[in-house]
Amino acid sequence: MKEILSIIKKDFPDKAINILEGLQLLREIINETMEDINKKMGAAFNNRDFDTVAKYTELSKEIHNYENKLDEIIDWLDIDYNTDNLDGPNSDIKSESRSNINYEDYRVDNNVEHTLYEDFTHIRPFGFKFLTEEVIQVKTWQEMLIKTAEILMDINEEKFLNFENLPRMNGKKNKYFSIEKNDMRRPIKVKDKIYLETNMSSNSIRNQILKMLKEYGYGAKDYKVYFYADYSGLNK
């Protein structure tokens, strides 16, 4: 497996990024599933339904085995990549062809709700809803990350600042949260307190938002995303 992943990383780096981001999302969904199983186990134990407790215990063990395998693959695929041109409408288009494109043709209905479980590649965001009925408008995924961080800091600033010290909130090689910006490619300071790494693709930002929400006891169901445009057709 390591040899296969090494070839993919070397010869098909864009696909390696897609695989990594997909596996990271799967890892988050598995985490949520394990938490739901734990709740059901607790309820079964309170009802002295030990057969159900045993069933969910075995299920948890099997899932945990897959968690470990996923973690290994994610570690192998840990990539230091530059996303300057990733996800944009022109990412795979020759420069001479760009002037002939009418980007308005790729506008979508910005009233349609989307979830954090979707693929955001080549999507331009319009905004999001989180703890409000009003859509918070943004122009980039990086702006969505920062505005989400600001909301969470307003809820509990100490918890957010502690992200810097949590391995699960940072990469194996790079910090995503830090009071120092030296080791970051594209740091943005939030509320003049902590830097966030924003050199990430749309799907990596999606995964990061999911992780931040989870730390505060929220999930994908609490967060809605709205699109401005879908440029997938330009990049086929």
Neighbours of 141 (CB within 10 A): 25
Record the pTM: 0.74
pLDDT for the residue numbered 85: 43
Q: How is the beta sheet containing 187-190 ordered, strand by strand?
A: 177-178, 194-197, 187-190
Q: Exposed, middle or buried: residue 112 (CB in 10 Å: 0-12, 13-18, 19+)?
A: exposed
CA trace torsion 117, 123, 126, 130 (10° rounding): 20
Strands 223-230 and 194-197: unpaired
pLDDT of the chain along its 236 residues, tens only? 778 877 887 778 777 777 887 888 888 889 889 989 999 999 999 999 999 999 999 999 999 998 888 888 877 776 544 444 445 554 544 444 556 778 788 999 999 999 999 999 999 999 999 999 999 999 999 999 999 999 999 999 999 999 999 998 988 778 899 999 887 889 999 999 999 999 989 999 999 999 999 999 999 999 999 999 999 887 76
- How big is the CA angle at 90 (ends 89 and 91), to the nearest 5 degrees? 100
Residue 70 CA to residue 198 CA, distance in Å, equals 24
Residue 84: the pLDDT is 44
Among candidates 28, 169, 5, which has minimal Cα distance to 77? 5
pLDDT at 63: 93
